[in-house]
Structure 1
């Protein structure tokens, strides 16, 4: 069973705070590097969360910025936690670095708002469906079979945030109806996946809605995930937007962008079927499109 998340979010929080403190002190990255005898690239790596800084380095920065008292203690605790490894690092050879970073964010999020147009999200996938999705990726990416297996295992392990973590992740999901009729694997795989969606829709921490194909489509943007985080060590971390694309993924963290996506999600949720009607639609498609009469598909 997966253990706690890594220090991914804490490292990003720490990086954000250290950058803000430098700017408040009216220092450039080069100024900090000169005063501490570091390279400018080291300052940049710390402030952009590309490396978890050593505790001594954080103390030096806080001394330079004149930070004392409880706020200093909070930042030092973040630094201690930032180097913590996550369970998924055991699969590091099989996972793209950006995907591993996303898992770290997902493990520490308290709520996720997600709009999906292509595929059932990993947090809700069955093993057979996840395998079919990865097999599809195999056709455009050279992945050894052992790595395919590791990626599927990782997808399933991620689901612990919904089922066994305390408190569990709150997930609000709007699915485009097209995801329910786009086949991955055979009809049996699809039927099982849709039945899983119906089951999980009954969880108190999951809100599942479907945007029907014959209804209004309020936005033109593709799939996105908005992650929200709890306050840790007295420091609040801003929302993060995660967007997957053909060549990897992108993160949006500027407040205007995250707020725009929140408004987009609210519009989608308002136009989507209510949860009870969404479950009825999913059950009907599972029966009519993917029922046993379709055989192996």
Structure 2
């Protein structure tokens, strides 16, 4: 793999150095952002929301730290019924109350959006999986089905490498420097595609989003927190659940997925064999999620 460089090539293809192909290569342009709305919640924080589809069942989708609706939308493409995507506080157009935040605050955001939309099912990725875990810890019967994709934290703080990477991301976004942001998010792209049109398109979209919307300072304390105090309390959860992890992911240790599946009474665990599953196993992941939720 050639070295990562920024800014991206203007022609959409990988910029190469030294001998090698130099013809322009155009990547597929990113889809335009959908039209969203801001909704009021009972706890006083307005959240950005997108609703697609119609009918029952209704599923709410919760994103990871520093991402948003654009990350969760593809996972709902084959899910039946109405789908509600939203941005947690401090992300996108959602409001950012002052002070430090906890997983209890994120669970409150998730609960409000789910209640407003009468959602009976939920999916959470990474940070969203932690918020979903906290919500079910507080209200074990809230959902009929739930999917946890790449859970990162349960009742023990994240490992140091994860906290360091997330702190670097928050620092880069606060700097406002596009190159620093690109360096912080480059690890999200598998090495095999990092210098390809698809990789550049993803990085360009992520950098544009983060430099435009920013990330609230209230998120800075989350990497050192836990989602629940005792995982044993999850034994009261009544929902059928699917837990998805992958081996070799420093930010989302497979041990957390295994512990969560063991704590939930009606859980199915699936572990992919390598990281970057949103790139390497995207089709299988969508089919697995829709097969479970449908």
The structure carrying a bigger helix percent of its residues is 1
TM-score by length of 2: 0.30
Larger radius of gyration: 1
